[in-house]
Structure 1
Amino acid sequence: MEDPMAWDVIEGKWKQFRGKAQEEWGKLTDDDLDVINGNRDQLEGKIQEHYGKTKDEAREAVNSWSTRVSAM
């Protein structure tokens, strides 16, 4: 289940979290991360594109990741 507060933290501090996103999803390029710029839908789309995930799989991966990293 999505935690909107977790995503608010990530979106507001994207420059700090982008490295963690790249650690999690190594296929994301710097250009991808610039385009994403904290936008959850963009991140999910790039994960679908680079990893061949379904929309639901990408959403679940982002949910899991955002909960973990926002708690740090």
Structure 2
Amino acid sequence: MNKLEIKGNWNEFKGKLKQKYGEVLDDELTYSEGVEDQIVGVIQEKTGRAKEEIIDELNALKN
């Protein structure tokens, strides 16, 4: 199973998330270390897309 690990500059990554998933609100993107699954769940709920697909896209955004 794919895994998302967010490390580094959260604000930069958050900006990329907001560009890609405009329907996700700022307060839904509050990050604390270890809550990557929660962020994926929020995006999944808003978009109706598969968890694995979202994780792959988010991992690509990190690069």
TM-score, normalised to structure 2, is 0.69
Residue 16 of structure 2: aligned partner: 20
Percent identity between matched residues is: 30
Q: Which has the higher helix share?
A: 1
State how far apart, in whole Å, the 2-side matches of 1:62 and 1:17 are: 9
The gaps in structure 1 that reach 5 residues or longer are 68-72
Regions of 4+ moved over 6 Å: none
Q: Report if the CA contact (8 A) 1:27-1:50 is conserved.
A: yes
**Backbone CA RMSD of aligned residues:** 2.3
Equivalences for residues 1-72 of structure 1 within 5 A: 7-9=6-8, 13-34=9-30, 37=31, 39-67=35-63
